[in-house]
Amino acid sequence: MTEFSKARMQHQRLSKAKIIKRATAIFIGAVLMAVGLEIFLVPNKVIDGGITGISIMLSHITGFRLGIFIFLLNLPFFFLGYKQIGKTFAISTLFGIIVLSIFTSLFHPVPAFTEDILLATIFGGMILGMGVGLVIRYGGALDGTEILAILINKKLPFSVGEIIMFFNIFILGAAGFVFTWDRAMYSILAYVIAFKTIDVVIKGLDESKSAWIISDRSEIIGDAIMNRLGRGVTYLSGEGAFSGNDKKVIFCVITRLEEAKLKEIVAENDPSAFLALADMAEVRGGRFKKRDIH
């Protein structure tokens, strides 16, 4: 067997592993969303935003299963996503929606976990947000409004989040007419909780941050960061615009959980040091994930 053939087989195995990992994550995410809906929110007449919210209201009005409406109403957006966004995203989305539709039907006879409306709203929103966040993190979607927002975003000067929020104002407001206005307000609360949970799941608790430190004791601070946080640092050359003095700038990448420790290190070694922190969407390469914290 040639080296090329071996490399090709290894690539195929990796691809299959990635596909299985993605499918498993989307499956779990869709099941979690079904749990949040059918065991917490829907029995207490609290809705989610987007196509799911419309499906909940139609299910309540007509008496048909929620899963039927989730599948049928999302189907047109699957074809839009397939043509405009990409095959992988569309297939991942269709798989997630099918799993969600099946499990909402399976969970429908299951009694509500709690009849306390506030507890149902909080925990239902959290579980739903965990499920949606997991699916988005692995390249899919569970609601057609997300796909529609992505497409509208290409033609209008509004962000995807702003477009989704615009749709949901009307959808969540309609819950007041279908159910009651207090249920509409609980629905808004569930939506906010789910939105924040999605953010945590996508970015992770160890969300990366970049740190820029300017100090006359830069080497001491750099050594402390490497020894106590186990993070690599890069020294950059700078010049003070006001003083004209040469400055050594420390650049490093840390996680959100290490932020407090970094501030402590800087304060201990140079209380007058300049420190700037910024969120980072993604970090790749290097030895960032390998830590040896002392």
Residue 54 pLDDT exceeds 50: yes
Query: What number is the average pLDDT over the span 142-163?
Result: 76
pTM over cut 0.75 = no
Q: What is the pLDDT of residues 216-272, one digit of tens each?
A: 899 999 999 998 888 889 888 887 767 667 788 999 988 777 888 899 899 999 999
Mean pLDDT is highest, among 77-86, 145-154, 193-202, for 193-202
Sign for the pseudo-dihedral over CA of 242, 243, 246, 252 = negative
Distance CA 132, CA 106 (A): 19
Q: What are phi and psi of 214, to 5 degrees?
A: -115, 120
Instruction: Give yes or no for a contact between 273 and 213, defined as CB atoms under 8 angstroms apart.
Output: yes
Q: Give me 188's structure tokens.
A: 């808004």
Residue 10: pLDDT above 50?
A: no
pLDDT score recorded for residue 95: 92
Query: Which CATH number applies to 208-279?
Result: 3.30.70.120
Q: What is the mean pLDDT of the chain?
A: 83
Distances from the Cα of 119 to the Cα of 5, 36, 112, 122, 190, angstroms: 56, 12, 11, 5, 10
The pLDDT assigned to 161 comes to 66
pLDDT level of residue 155 (50, 70, 90 thresholds): confident
CA distances from 267 to 26, 220, 231, 256, 262 (A): 44, 12, 18, 18, 9
More confident residue, 158 or 5: 158
Condensed to tens digits (0 to 9), the pLDDT of residues 121-130 reads 999 999 999 9
CA distances from 221 to 245, 270, 289, 290 (A): 19, 8, 21, 20
Strand, coil or helix: 210: strand
Residue 8: per-residue pLDDT: 47
Q: Domain coordinates of the chain in residue numbers? A: 3-203, 208-279
pLDDT band (50, 70, 90) for residue 17: confident
Write 261-269 long-range contacts (CB < 8 A, 24+).
261/228, 261/229, 262/211, 262/225, 262/229, 265/221, 265/224, 265/225, 265/228, 265/229, 266/213, 266/215, 266/221, 268/224, 269/215, 269/217, 269/220, 269/221, 269/224
What pLDDT does 102 receive?
94
DSSP 216: T
* 176 Cβ contact partners less than 8 Å away, ≥ 6 residues apart: 183, 184
Tell me the two tokens of residue 146: 């997300």
Residue 166 is predicted with a pLDDT of 83
| pLDDT reported for residue 288 | 58
Burial 222-260 (b: 16+ CB within 10 A, else e): bebbeebbebebeeeeeeeeeeeeeebbbebbbbeebee
Q: Considering only 60-69, 116-125, 174-183, 197-206, which range has the smallest mean pLDDT?
A: 197-206
Q: Is the pLDDT of residue 7 over 60?
A: no
Query: Residue 281: its pLDDT value, please?
Result: 66
Task: Supply the pLDDT for residue 5.
Answer: 46
The proportion of the chain whose per-residue pLDDT surpasses 70, expressed as a percent, equals 86
- Cα 183 to its chain centre, rounded Å, is 26
pLDDT confidence of residue 104: 93
Which of 103-107, 153-157, 172-176, 281-285 comes out lowest in average pLDDT? 281-285
